[in-house]
Amino acid sequence: MSLLFLILIDNSVSFRTTEICFMSVFVTVGTTSFDELTELVTSEPILKILETKSYSSLLVQYGRGHHQVKECNTAGLKINGYRYKDSISGDITNADLVISHAGAGTCLEVLGARKPLVVVVNEKLMDNHQFELAKQLHQDGHLLYCTCSTLGSTLSEMDLQSLEPLPAPKTNKFGEDLTLHFQL
């Protein structure tokens, strides 16, 4: 967004346009309940970190959770929330940063959209396969991951420029492997 400023100095007029950057964060928990994450991202310490990183809006998809995020303005951020939508693709596309639970579908959708992703692993899950996925995608350089207890430091220290895009899928690889295996 550009703003045009009219400047009067010593009875002469000059015009200046200034680029103003509005950056947004989208937080999603998918169809699950992850109140610990939704409460944390709307807490004062996290909001202050986001503000220092020049983010101006926060949109939270809170799923089945009890913690409902209401529209408000605080800590220099415009905050909105909703439970569910038919599709979150538009919210992902419009975001400059996505903070998400570690669901495989969500991770792949965000990375496929080429958006920076911070995955927050829910440590309260019994079979924590999400941790394995987040760890591997982090080791491959595609995302950052943390837990709720380390989200603040992860956001403070994050270098989104260091993230590597997820490579395009090799859709013909399976067919090639079958052909080779069965010597067709």
How far from the centroid of its chain's Cα atoms is residue 64's Cα?
A: 19
- What was the pLDDT predicted at 130? 82
Phi and psi, residue 146, nearest 5°? -160, -175
Domains, the chain, ordered by start? 23-162 (3.40.50.2000)
Amino acid, res. 45 = P
Q: pLDDT by residue (tens digit) across 114-125?
A: 999 999 999 887
Amino acid, res. 8 = L
- What was the pLDDT predicted at 1? 43
Inter-residue long-range contacts of 12-17, CB under 8 Å, 24+ positions, other chains counted: none
Q: pLDDT by residue (tens digit) across 20-68?
A: 568 999 999 999 899 999 999 999 999 999 999 999 999 999 999 999 9
Amino acid, res. 99 = I
Please check whether residue 36 is in contact with residue 124, taking contact to mean a CB–CB distance below 8 angstroms: yes
Q: Which two tokens stand for residue 169?
A: 């899928």
